[in-house]
Amino acid sequence: MTIKTYREAIIDAMKTEMERDEKVFVIGEDISGGRGCGDYEGEAAGGPMGLTQGLWEAFGPKRIIDTPISETAIMGAAAGAALVGLRPIAELMFSDFFGVCFDQIYNQAAKFRYMYGEQAATPLVIRTMVGAGIGCGPQHSQSPHSIFANIPGLKVVMPSNPYDAKGLLISAIRDNDPVIFCEHKALLADKGEVPDEAYEVPLGKGTIIQEGEDLTIVAIGQMVGITLSCSEAFSEKNISCEIIDPRSLSPFDENIIFDSVEKTGRLLIIDESNPICSFGSWIASLVSQEVFSSLKAPIKVLTPPHCPVPAAPNLEAAYLPDSDEIILSSVNMVNYK
């Protein structure tokens, strides 16, 4: 067991799988950080956030493929490569850019299996950075995971820690369907224990991070860490929380949440989506349909407001759900009569 960052865990997963399977390759903008251009002999930066660092040196330009800034071509080429049996990892540098290439993701890659039947498989991973918190403003900070989860044919995962980042990415690369792998930019430097060897965290399995009796909290991505930071306050207020990280939004482990709500009778969901049709509201809908009689209080969904992500740091802080809101909501739910 080694201590690694979330970023290193992601690189580790790609390296492991590229060594194991020659059909795996990475394609995207600046993924070799200039080394793709030919004569430049400096260190390959591995993208603006260093998420492909070291891969060019290990695998060279045939499998670490720098592209022009052409997201439609990248996503379409990755879809086509998957359709003929390669196993592409396509990098969509910031998830906000899905707006320029979504046709290739949702009309093409996501539908090949269904449109063409069993003759087709689409083993494609789209790695993409999501999330607010580091001042990138309206077009580099969004969390469109709810939009992705709405599309039949796509699988969607969002790891909240380095261990899950490596294990989920390995599972995604080995999976035969298109997987949107959401990397939260505010978590890239977070550290945790990560085994050196390859291991899978299965798609579609949530995890109970902390067991509790009074209240179920479902937190997604960056919201997991913010929830854990409330632990002391929860103890002070004598609230026993069961904290669940779904990790995978599609397929989604609904049973882990139903079981927990049947025990606690209360559900707080914390999701970085915008509120309308958010993934959090889908969880609330499922729980109210399936385990309504267990509920002792109305379900609460905490999300940012229905507005873009602002650049001003104070406004961005106000945009994101924070520990004060989580604690207040939890207290209100436990005291609900």
Partner 1 sequence: MQLSREKLLDAYTRMRKIRVFEETMRDEFAKGTMPGFVHLYIGQEAIATGVCIELDNNDTIASTHRGHGHCIAKNSDIEKMTLEIYCRADGLCGGKGGSMHIADLSVGMLGANAIVGANAPIAVGAALRQRVEDNNAVSVAFIGDGASNQGGVFEAMNLASVLKLPVLFVFENNGYGEFTGVDYHCGGGDIAGRAKGFGMPSYKLDGSDFFAVQETTAEAVKRARNGEGPTALECVAKRWYGHFEGDPQHYRTKDELESIRKNNDPLVIFRTKVEEAGILDAKDLDSIDNNVIDEISSALEKAKDSPVPDVKELTKNVYSDDLGGQVA
Tell me the residue type at 322.
Answer: D
Q: Please state, in angstroms and as integers, the Cα–Cα distance from residue 207 to each residue in 7, 39, 203, following that order.
A: 21, 47, 11
Rule CB under 8 A: is residue 113 a binding residue for partner 1?
A: yes
Rule CB under 8 A: is residue 177 a binding residue for partner 1?
A: yes
Rule CB under 8 A: is residue 55 a binding residue for partner 1?
A: no
Rule CB under 8 A: is residue 68 a binding residue for partner 1?
A: yes
Instruction: State which residue, 153 or 304, has the beta carbon closest to partner 1.
Output: 153
Tell me the residue type at 282.
Answer: W
Name which position in 4, 63, 140, 166 contacts partner 1 (CB under 8 A).
63
* 6: CB partners within 8 A, 6+ apart: 159, 161, 162, 165, 183, 184, 187, 188, 189, 190, 191, 192
Q: Looking only at residues 239 through 278 of this chain, which bind partner 1 when binding is defined by CB under 8 A?
A: 250-256
Rule CB under 8 A: is residue 112 a binding residue for partner 1?
A: yes
SS3 content of the chain, % helix, strand, coil (to 5): 40, 20, 40
Candidate segments 104-112, 160-168, 267-275, 306-314, binder of partner 1 by CB under 8 A:
104-112
Q: Encoding tokens for residue 225? A: 């860490």
Rule CB under 8 A: is residue 288 a binding residue for partner 1?
A: no
Q: Binders of partner 1: how many residues, by CB under 8 A?
A: 60
Q: Burial of 88 by CB count in 10 Å (0-12 exposed, 13-18 middle, 19+ buried)?
A: buried
Tell me the residue type at 241.
Answer: C
Peptide bond connecting 159 to the previous residue in cis, omega within 30 degrees of 0: no
Instruction: State which residue, 18 or 132, has the beta carbon closest to partner 1.
Output: 18
Q: What is the DSSP string of 226-263?
A: HHHTTHHHHHHTT--EEEEE--EEETT-HHHHHHHHHH
N- to C-terminal Cα separation, the chain: 47
Instruction: State which residue, 235 or 255, has the beta carbon closest to partner 1.
Output: 255
Q: Encoding tokens for residue 16? A: 């492991």
Name which position in 176, 229, 332, 335 contacts partner 1 (CB under 8 A).
176
Of residues 169, 166, 174, 127, the one with CA closest to residue 148: 127
Instruction: State which residue, 121 or 233, has the beta carbon closest to partner 1.
Output: 121
Rule CB under 8 A: is residue 209 a binding residue for partner 1?
A: no
Whether 140 sits among the annotated catalytic residues: the reply is yes
Name which position in 15, 23, 263, 296 contacts partner 1 (CB under 8 A).
23
Rule CB under 8 A: is residue 116 a binding residue for partner 1?
A: yes
Instruction: State which residue, 280 or 321, has the beta carbon closest to partner 1.
Output: 280
Q: Burial of 77 by CB count in 10 Å (0-12 exposed, 13-18 middle, 19+ buried)?
A: middle
Are 301 and 284 contacting, i.e. CB atoms less than 8 angstroms apart? yes
Instruction: State which residue, 114 or 336, has the beta carbon closest to partner 1.
Output: 114
Q: How far is the CB of 35 from partner 1 (least distance, A)?
A: 15
Rule CB under 8 A: is residue 73 a binding residue for partner 1?
A: yes
Q: How far is the CB of 150 from partner 1 (least distance, A)?
A: 9
Candidate segments 44-52, 73-81, 162-170, 317-325, binder of partner 1 by CB under 8 A:
73-81
Active site residues: 140
**Contact set with partner 1 (CB under 8 A):** 22-23, 25, 27, 62-63, 65, 67-68, 70, 72-84, 86, 88, 103-104, 107-108, 111-122, 149, 152-153, 155, 175-177, 203-206, 250-256, 286
